[in-house]
Amino acid sequence: MMLDGNAIGGMMLELFGREMTMVVSTCRSCGATGPLASVDVYMKAPGVVVRCRTCESVLMKIVRSPKRVWLDIDGIRMMQMEA
């Protein structure tokens, strides 16, 4: 089941300590730019998989255990946010 980026808003707030759904990100694969709220999110994988809505490339993977979080953001070229 696919959701939009708002589905990971709480998780991103917990990880980054700030509201992240309006942060503008750029896809490393196709160069598409938009807020994290507009990405495609798949929550039913072994972790969370975030994909570019334009080219479907994986932007981010998040895996959680009771003691750790693994965050792979290799598919994001850049994140732009207010200071």
Is the pLDDT confidence value at 79 over 90? yes
Instruction: Express each pLDDT in 2-57 by its tens digit.
Output: 999 999 999 999 999 999 999 999 999 999 999 999 999 999 878 999 999 999 99
* pTM reported for the whole predicted model: 0.92
Contact 5, 36 (CB under 8 A): yes
Amino acid at site 70: W
- Domain holding 36, by residue range, is 2-80
**What is the reported pLDDT for 83?**
84
H/E stretch holding 61 reads: strand 58-64
Domain count of the fold of the chain: 1
